[in-house]
Structure 1
Amino acid sequence: MKKIKSVLILVLFLTTIFSFAQESPVAKIKISGKVVEKTSNQPLEYATITFFAANNPKAIAGGITNPKGEFDIEIKPGIYDIKIEFISFKIKEIKQKALNTTSSLGLISLEEDVNQLNEVVIRTEKTTVEIKLDKKVYNVGSDLMVKGGTVSDVLDNIPSVSVDVEGNVSLRGNDNVRVLIDGKPSNAINIAEALRLIPADAIEKVEVITNPSARYDAEGGGGLLNIILKKGKNQGLNGTFIASTGYPETYGLSGNINYKSKNFNLFTTQGYNNRNSPGNSFTNSEYLNPDNTTRNYIYENRDNKRNNKGYNGNFGIELYLNKSTSWTNAINYRKSKGDNVDDVLQNYYDSGFNYDYTRNRINGEISDSESVEFTTNFIKKFKRDGHKLTIDGSFSTSDDLNDAIITDKATNTNIVKFDNTINNQTQGRNLIQMDYVLPFGKGSQFEAGYRGDFSKLLTDYEVENDGVINNNFTNSLEYKEKVNALYTQYGLKIDKFSALFGLRFEDSNIEINLLGTNNYNTKKYNNFFPSAFFTYEISDKSSASVSYSRRIQRPRGRFLNPFSNLSSNINIFVGNPDLNPAFSDAIDLGFIKRWDKLTFNTSLYVNKTSDSFQFARRESGAFVNGTPVLISSPINIATEYRTGFEFTLNYSPYKWWKLNGNFNFYRTETQGDFSYTDFNSNLVTQDFGNIATSWSSRITSKITLPYKIDWQTNASYNAPQTSAQGKSLGVFGANLAFSKDILKEKGTLAFNVSDVFNSRKRITENYLAGVVNSYSEMQYRQRQFTLSFTYRFNKPKNERERPKQNQNDSEGDFQG
């Protein structure tokens, strides 16, 4: 019996092999099409297309749509049932479709279904970082690290982006970055503080554009960061609420709600937070004689206690005037109050490091900021796909009031000194923009537009020493900026090759007026800013590109204001009202390759910046108890060459594990000399020639643990970097977070720890021959623990909103 079974199995096996060998392979065909939203005709990215054999529930083939809503799927000829799905939309089915040759299903329209909002099955989760050839898109909703955080926390988690301890943003090691909100410049006077005020929950995504086209204003030689706020697009009434608390003491409440009908969409985001951010720093300085022998030592320690209470809210309505026209209006309001106590202890030692005395300076600062902005957006779409006219307006006013009382006392005297500083800033800003896009022919597109940006900033700064006004530090700075710009772009695509050529013209009229000293300075200049982008599709999963753009950096705010705070009486920052703009030429070579589980993107970049801003440190000629007062100011004295390469990757080895990483290496060469006459009428020349190399790396891991607990960890390292007058040391930081869905996935509990090892500090060494040798460490914010609870109603956890109609929130460049 066993022999008979063995013979039958052998015969069956050989018959199967013989039949397979004789079978001719069936050539596959390609089925394409485009999926759009029925009402607006907008493309739906990540829609799912599945092919089933007739009367068989098992899927045979399938795929998802690209950012244009298009799909291209290979199948064998036959008769199929086809299912097209997209989250919160009604499923569309095509029954018994005979497909025997390569063909297109044409335009497929899906209709939103409010009844599916609480029952939808998530088929694919959007990755935290989407890598594209011309930009990276960071999706905030899938990042656990920023729950209960702010925009600064969001930016600090993005590959290629770094936020230093004071909130200053840099991209690929370059701090000449333009930050946009919904495609428009922020109306905030202090952008670093404004980014700490907006809750992370209010953001949908952030676009990182390293080499922008002529469509954008030319500001920002290091690239652009476009922060796109949530506006809500789901049908009916839905929303999200987030409550958070943490240590050091912090708590907040925020939420976003929208109600959408056939004719309009109402949306609002509201947020309140109360944050305590204790910090500390110290600077150990060895003061030198002209022959570089030691004069004395001062060891300065600071303890910062900062509290900020802030409200951020917006309310808007999008009107669907007809199928091709929409009009959106919104009011944005921000208000914050801060209390910052800066306690400075200075221990004085003689040349032999024998203790002399201690000085204590306590700077108690109170700040009050308020900003109101009205925005409007009008979009008219024409019959041809992609043919449209967009008109935008933004009108805002902002106030930033700061009042500080400085108490100064020392152990070697009974005299107590009181200084009072008042720094009040008022800004008005109006922005008007128009963009027109006209596709024509096959694979060609023309684009043109205008932007007018008009702003006025008035800074009143006053210093009182023991009740007497110090005229050396008291003045009013009036800054007026009028920039009119015109641009045009032409794009074409021929087979696998595409190109985009652009030219932007900007006419700048800048007034820098010191009203107290009747010093008026007007700078007028106009410039052309060309750009060119070339892309070649090597295959369906790999592309290469080369791009060029010219950019500008205009000095503003603190860089121009020659009157600064006196929290330290021996180390003073002074702005330079005579600064000129810096110009950058940027070239970027990029390559992207996609596999099933891995996306790899790398680029080689070169930047040349003329009239680069550099910070020069020198003696002022004043002394405090025999110690020279040092002044640091920005100056135009150098040409800077920056070259580097970076790579970014997304890797999903398993369904439960996602990794993304970024590595950036760059070399900076500075050429220039700074000459000045010191307080002894001696000509001093400082050589700013310097070559520095540095690198940074970041890796993020997200793992789904048992019981559906998500665990996310990231770590970053910024390597040391030298400068003409010193160097900064390496900084390592790590964050971790856990989250768990509850209440049938309507709620989420999240716990995160920011700066796990309490190691995020700015560490610098500075050396100025014959003046000072110093070492300092600064920690702006200590390790933070945050617990947050998120509740959603009528909204799925991994919401996929249909693409927005406002083209200002994306690159908008020609894609062929």
Structure 2
Amino acid sequence: MGVTSIAFGQRPDNQIKREVSVNGKVFDADTNTPMEYATVSFTDQAGKIVTGGITDQKGEYNIEVPSGTYSVKFEFISYEPKTLTNQKLISDITLPNISLETDSQALNEVIVRAETTEVQVRLDKKIYNIGKDLTTSGATVSDALSNVPSVTVDVDGAIALRGNGNVRILINGRPSAIAGFGSTDALQQLPAEAIERVEVITSPSARYDAEGTAGILNIILRKEKTLGLNGQIQANYGVPLQSGLTGNINLRTDKFNIFNTTGIRYRQSPGNAFFRNEFLEDGNVDLTVLENREYERLNRGFNTNLGMEYFLSDKTSVTASAFLRLGDDEDMTDNFTDDFGPDGAPLESRTRTELETEEDTSFQLSLNYITKFNEDGHELTVDFQWADDEETERSIIEEFQTFPEDEILPTEDILINETQNEYLGQVDYVLPIGENAQFEAGYRGTFEETVTNQLATEEEFPGGPFLRNDDLSNIFTYNEDVNAVYTQYGNKFGDFSFLAGLRYEHTRLRGSLDEESVQTDVVNDLLVDFDRTFDGLFPTLNLTYELNDRENITLGYNRRINRPRGRSVNPFPSRSSEANIFQGNPNLRPAFANAFDLGYLKRWDKLTLTSSIYYQRETDSFERIQEETGEDTPNGIPIVRSLPINLSSNERYGFEAGVLYNPAKWLRLNGSFNFFRFVSEGEFNGTDFGAENTSYFARGSAKVTLPYKIDWQTNMFYRGPTNNAQTDTKGLISVNLAFSKDIINDNATIGLNVSDLFNSRVRRSFTDTPTFRSDSEFQWRVRQVNLSFTYRFNQKKQRERGGRGDDGGDDDFEG
């Protein structure tokens, strides 16, 4: 089967030329196996690409070309291209077989290849392609990240890297409204099909933001590079009810590349929680409060990412893209509360119903200019980005007493409007020096403003007028401005490579309350207004030594910063229940960390091992504590607040390993294990919050090709028990199952997957303080079954070789 040729432009003259058929084969020089989706292009004597195409599953191509003299170029990502020059094509011809070799001279990069997949291990990151993970079909970006090595996603969507929740989320290398500017809520609304690959950057080089002491997760969105018109569309339906439709389309010629990904979602996510709170008096239980919660969440969303790359010349291009996300969510929470006295006798029972509606609108405009001065990597890029995000959240809280007598309690109405604006400007310059050296320098400025307007009203009496609650109502403005410059230099001497850099960042953090919204300077002993600046130098160093072509050792060092976000410094409380509030801390200071990472990689014919040992010391680290406020609810229940504070230090060290094993063409196995321990020290309000914690998590995946070309994949994840100064959290296990079958001449795929097969993804924790104890269970989402259908046009299964983006990935390796 040959490929369809793709026209790049008009013929160079008006003469009618006879079409000739050109065919041949392309092989992998290392394995002597056919290379599917290698690019073949034909350039005339004027230097213009006339036509081209890609190879099929057998590595073969058959392209119709106007008769003439051409240079024929053969390319595949991460391979050395080959060119046949002065080919006189005047009649049908079979060109010699072409064998492409891996690009062993690429600075910063080591390619690990197994069967038809690959993992890229660079000096400062690992790259994973998630396209072949069957369990993410119809899932969200947040779900997809939960299958990436070193990454965990908690039951409520919190993302951690190597057990550390302070991870920076970037989209296409930049902070973005798509990722919610630090919040992970937006990632739970975007389809996984929008992702091209995920870069796990545990030892970031100086070119990246210093934000995020755990490291960086860089999500690269799809932008197809295959010539011509191509794309795919996916529909899914699941139980509990979830449905979605996602499509992406790409049109590329020799002058422009238009790309678009659009999706709509409708999803129900039932969940549940249980809390047992015991309040102590002189060490004895004085009051017991039981809470049972039932969640019914409805998420409706639309998102689209439209862009065009225009090639001003063969070395210069401009890309403009616009992203729009609309969300319309409705969550119903029923909270059944029972109070018991010291002798266990029932005191009171209440039912609390909270209806929360949320409307989100996110818009982002990005411009990129790049000029490549030559083919050796000498280039200049300029980026500008503007983003606007608005979220309106309204909660109507109704409460009824059902024991000892029926009584309707006053209704609360809380309206929160939050707007975020961010401007980003960035310039990067790369200059290769000689054959193996490279110099880089650049600037980045980000200017972000978040305004939170919270209006809380409550009935004066049941059925009466609503009055403003001055203790909860406020307008809070938070500004974060960061200006940064960096430089770095890399070189390769034989088997030794290094990349050294230095980044300087100037940070200004400001917070203020609107004087008309509230008349106070202090909230619960916390000052409100602040204006602080911080300067920091952030050195980075990454080393690689190649023991041989299948084995290497890496060493990385970097200094990082953790800046407090808007919600963490807003001193006005937000309520998850009447007796439980979250309050930001305006006194939070940035935390700084120094991290070291020693890695080892070894490849055999069918087995690949990656491993690393890491250590990090963080000063002024953040910790969330719980304490009584000294106030009671109208029903006499003590109010407990959750508050972020700075601890004096946090030491973290650990070990991780990943294995990819392909014993046969029909069987692919992989797994990863991460063990870590941290020791924190510090006190707050006279209480020692120091703690020691040892934990681990492991994941494994098996992918089997059954008869009739049915793929079966099973993913398993286990997170061991963990703890901080106050709370012990038990381990949890979850299993995902998926089946997939290609149909319609491999142009379409039908899939079935089950998320959380045994309905076991439940967080169980226990909190112990001198004045109260809390035992809780929380299940964000129950087991889900999903059926999906994908249809590709002019695309086939391009993910089979790690994608066609600038960087490939290893979708099998990540599990």
Q: What do residues 479-522 of structure 1 show as CA deviations (whole Å, max 9, x unaligned)?
A: 11111100000111111111111000001111111223464310
Q: Contact conserved, 1:731 with 1:762, CA < 8 A, in 2?
A: yes
2:431 equivalent in structure 1: 438
> What is the CA distance between 1:86 and its match in structure 2?
8.1
2:471 equivalent in structure 1: 472
297, 304, 329: which is aligned to 2:320?
329
> What is the CA distance between 1:268 and its match in structure 2?
0.7
2:509 equivalent in structure 1: 510
2:481 equivalent in structure 1: 482
Alignment of 1:119-130 (within 5 A): 126-127=116-117
503, 519, 524: which is aligned to 2:533?
524
Q: What do residues 272-314 of structure 1 show as CA deviations (whole Å, max 9, x unaligned)?
A: 000100110000122110x211102111110011001000101
325, 329, 339: which is aligned to 1:338?
329
2:49 equivalent in structure 1: none
347, 357, 360: which is aligned to 1:356?
347
> What is the CA distance between 1:562 and its match in structure 2?
2.3
1:691 equivalent in structure 2: 692
Q: Contact conserved, 1:234 with 1:801, CA < 8 A, in 2?
A: no
Q: Secondary structure at the match of 2:649?
A: strand
2:27 equivalent in structure 1: 49
1:97 equivalent in structure 2: none
201, 224, 231: which is aligned to 2:223?
231
1:347 equivalent in structure 2: 338
In the alignment, residue 232 of structure 2 is paired with which amino acid?
T
2:74 equivalent in structure 1: none
Alignment of 1:711-790 (within 5 A): 711-769=712-770, 771-790=771-790
> What is the CA distance between 1:577 and its match in structure 2?
1.8
Alignment of 1:355-374 (within 5 A): 355-374=346-365
Q: Secondary structure at the match of 1:558?
A: helix
| In the alignment, structure 1 residue 643 sits paired with structure 2 residue 653 | yes
Alignment of 1:332-731 (within 5 A): 332-383=323-374, 385-411=376-402, 412=404, 414-466=407-459, 467-515=466-514, 516=518, 517=520, 519-624=528-633, 625-675=635-685, 685-731=686-732
> What is the CA distance between 1:802 and its match in structure 2?
7.6
In the alignment, residue 498 of structure 2 is paired with which amino acid?
A
1:264 equivalent in structure 2: 256
Higher Rg of the two aligned structures: 1
> What is the CA distance between 1:197 and its match in structure 2?
1.5
> What is the CA distance between 1:321 and its match in structure 2?
1.1
In the alignment, residue 554 of structure 2 is paired with which amino acid?
S
Q: What do residues 364-391 of structure 1 show as CA deviations (whole Å, max 9, x unaligned)?
A: 1110000111111111001250111111
> What is the CA distance between 1:361 and its match in structure 2?
1.1
Change (3 A) 1:329 1:801: farther
Change (3 A) 1:61 1:160: closer
1:144 equivalent in structure 2: 134
Gaps of 5+ in 1: 1-36, 40-46, 52-59, 70-83, 93-104, 112-122, 676-684, 811-816
Cα distance in 2 for residues equivalent to 1:248 and 1:325: 49
Q: Secondary structure at the match of 1:142?
A: coil
2:277 equivalent in structure 1: 285
> What is the CA distance between 1:575 and its match in structure 2?
1.1
Change (3 A) 1:61 1:513: closer
> What is the CA distance between 1:133 and its match in structure 2?
6.2
How many residues align structurally?
710
> What is the CA distance between 1:135 and its match in structure 2?
2.9
Q: What do residues 556-600 of structure 1 show as CA deviations (whole Å, max 9, x unaligned)?
A: 132122234334111211111221111111100000001111110
> What is the CA distance between 1:174 and its match in structure 2?
0.5
| In the alignment, structure 1 residue 212 sits paired with structure 2 residue 190 | no
Displaced runs of 4 or more, over 6 A: 84-89
Q: Contact conserved, 1:233 with 1:802, CA < 8 A, in 2?
A: no
Change (3 A) 1:539 1:461: same
1:303 equivalent in structure 2: 294
219, 228, 244: which is aligned to 2:236?
244
Cα distance in 1 for residues equivalent to 2:478 and 2:494: 50
Cα distance in 1 for residues equivalent to 2:774 and 2:256: 61
1:167 equivalent in structure 2: 157
Change (3 A) 1:691 1:50: closer
In the alignment, residue 334 of structure 1 is paired with which amino acid?
R
Q: Secondary structure at the match of 2:131?
A: helix
Cα distance in 2 for residues equivalent to 1:749 and 1:458: 45
In the alignment, residue 270 of structure 2 is paired with which amino acid?
P
> What is the CA distance between 1:108 and its match in structure 2?
1.0
Change (3 A) 1:129 1:496: closer
Q: Contact conserved, 1:221 with 1:552, CA < 8 A, in 2?
A: yes
Q: Contact conserved, 2:123 with 2:499, CA < 8 A, in 1?
A: no
Q: Secondary structure at the match of 2:277?
A: strand
Cα distance in 1 for residues equivalent to 2:787 and 2:84: 39
Cα distance in 2 for residues equivalent to 1:504 and 1:391: 18
> What is the CA distance between 1:637 and its match in structure 2?
2.3
Q: What do residues 516-571 of structure 1 show as CA deviations (whole Å, max 9, x unaligned)?
A: 34643101111110001111000000000111000011111321222343341112
- Calculate the TM-score normalised by the size of structure 1: 0.83
Cα distance in 2 for residues equivalent to 1:796 and 1:125: 18
> What is the CA distance between 1:745 and its match in structure 2?
0.7
In the alignment, residue 305 of structure 2 is paired with which amino acid?
N
In the alignment, residue 175 of structure 2 is paired with which amino acid?
P
> What is the CA distance between 1:797 and its match in structure 2?
1.2
Q: Contact conserved, 2:169 with 2:182, CA < 8 A, in 1?
A: no
Cα distance in 1 for residues equivalent to 2:503 and 2:805: 26
Cα distance in 1 for residues equivalent to 2:129 and 2:80: 30
Change (3 A) 1:450 1:162: same
Cα distance in 1 for residues equivalent to 2:744 and 2:662: 28
| In the alignment, structure 1 residue 319 sits paired with structure 2 residue 320 | no
Q: Contact conserved, 2:129 with 2:803, CA < 8 A, in 1?
A: no
175, 183, 194: which is aligned to 1:185?
175
In the alignment, residue 701 of structure 2 is paired with which amino acid?
T
Q: Contact conserved, 2:123 with 2:543, CA < 8 A, in 1?
A: no
> What is the CA distance between 1:422 and its match in structure 2?
1.0
Change (3 A) 1:381 1:801: farther
Aligned sequence identity (%)? 43
Change (3 A) 1:239 1:772: same
> What is the CA distance between 1:663 and its match in structure 2?
0.3
Change (3 A) 1:784 1:553: same
Q: Contact conserved, 1:613 with 1:638, CA < 8 A, in 2?
A: no
Alignment of 1:85-124 (within 5 A): 90=61, 108-109=82-83
Change (3 A) 1:618 1:237: same
Q: Secondary structure at the match of 1:153?
A: helix
Q: Secondary structure at the match of 1:141?
A: coil
Change (3 A) 1:281 1:349: same
Cα root mean square deviation, aligned: 2.7
Cα distance in 1 for residues equivalent to 2:777 and 2:472: 28
Q: Which moved more, 1:516-525 or 1:602-611?
A: 516-525
Q: Contact conserved, 2:153 with 2:159, CA < 8 A, in 1?
A: yes
2:94 equivalent in structure 1: none
Q: Contact conserved, 1:133 with 1:591, CA < 8 A, in 2?
A: no
Q: Contact conserved, 2:236 with 2:244, CA < 8 A, in 1?
A: yes
In the alignment, residue 289 of structure 2 is paired with which amino acid?
I
Cα distance in 2 for residues equivalent to 1:207 and 1:182: 10
Q: Secondary structure at the match of 1:509?
A: strand
| In the alignment, structure 1 residue 62 sits paired with structure 2 residue 32 | yes
Cα distance in 1 for residues equivalent to 2:468 and 2:207: 48
